[in-house]
Chains A and B, each alone.
Chain A
Amino acid sequence: MRKKWWKILAVVLLIYTFTAGFLLKVPELGILKETSRNLFFHVPMWFGQMILLTISLVYSILYLRKPDLKYDIYAAAFVKTGIVMGILGLVTGAIWAAYVWGAPWSNDPKQIGVAIALLIYFAYLVLRNAIPDIDKCAKVSSVYNIFAYFIYLPLIMILPRMVESLHPGGKGVEGNPGLNGADLDASMRMVFWPAVIGWTLLGVWITTLNIRLYLIRDKNLINAK
């Protein structure tokens, strides 16, 4: 966690994302016009969230296999950053929608889907705070986290493929439920993928700060095992 190279990589990729993302010539895409640059900022929030929540799922499973409090701390920290990225994704999506769909909230299936997914993860935090016994809290929230992930996946991966939506991707489009791959030209891809990696690494960095803090705070509990 204390290695430096990947933090530097995150910073370099993000500065590249901002610079290229602002200055690149983007293709004409109907109503989107210049707003398609949001692809480098809004979309990586969701990619990052998905990756962070998947890491969290792995730690929850690890906790249930071997009840080491560390795993639970890891899982909780990854969920928290995942939620932050989700909120940012939802808000930036609403801002974007206000100017291209005509309203920040159109009860679009994809908006509702991710909102429900976020609420499910809010409940994870509420659940954690509701159980004072640390071991019980760790076990119950690990189980809940696994459950939450497998509700979250259909909400963002399967449902969007089954219904009509204003959002690109999903029904009628091959592959990704969140964006139409055919809309991206080669130069946009050259910014988009570094952006995804950069934002995700930033998310991981924030998470490790939280983890290190909790490990110090709960030092006595972990050593007591």
Chain B
Amino acid sequence: MTNAALRSDAIAKAEETILVLERDVLTRAFLADYLRSCGYRVLEARSAAEALTILQESSEPIRVVLGDAENGFKLSGWVKANRPKIKVILAANAERASQAAADLCEIGPHGKRPYDPQLLVQRIRSHLGKGAD
């Protein structure tokens, strides 16, 4: 790949946008921060209704929705029918959401995890004051 192509690819990847749909504000903030630190543009929604508003009214080129299982399931049917190119990842708990975020970082703009996803889980749990499951 030429330098110009590499730059173009880097710009395209830097513009990749992920919508984090998570009802718990602290978990949402940590996941969003983690994904931003590996170069994604991140939008945050706290409910399926908010996520739907963003998907319908924002001009953001959203590639992935990373959602908690309950809210994400409500939204996934709409996404499949109306935005079939958007990938929906549902996570049953903080550990799975963290692992999904880490996997996205490995394929994403910077191509590496900012730090171990287990640390992300620990941070979420310590701030929640109990298990985040």
Say if A and B assemble together. no
Q: What is the interface of chain A, defined by CB distance below 8 A to chain B? A: none
Q: What is the interface of chain B, defined by CB distance below 8 A to chain A? A: none
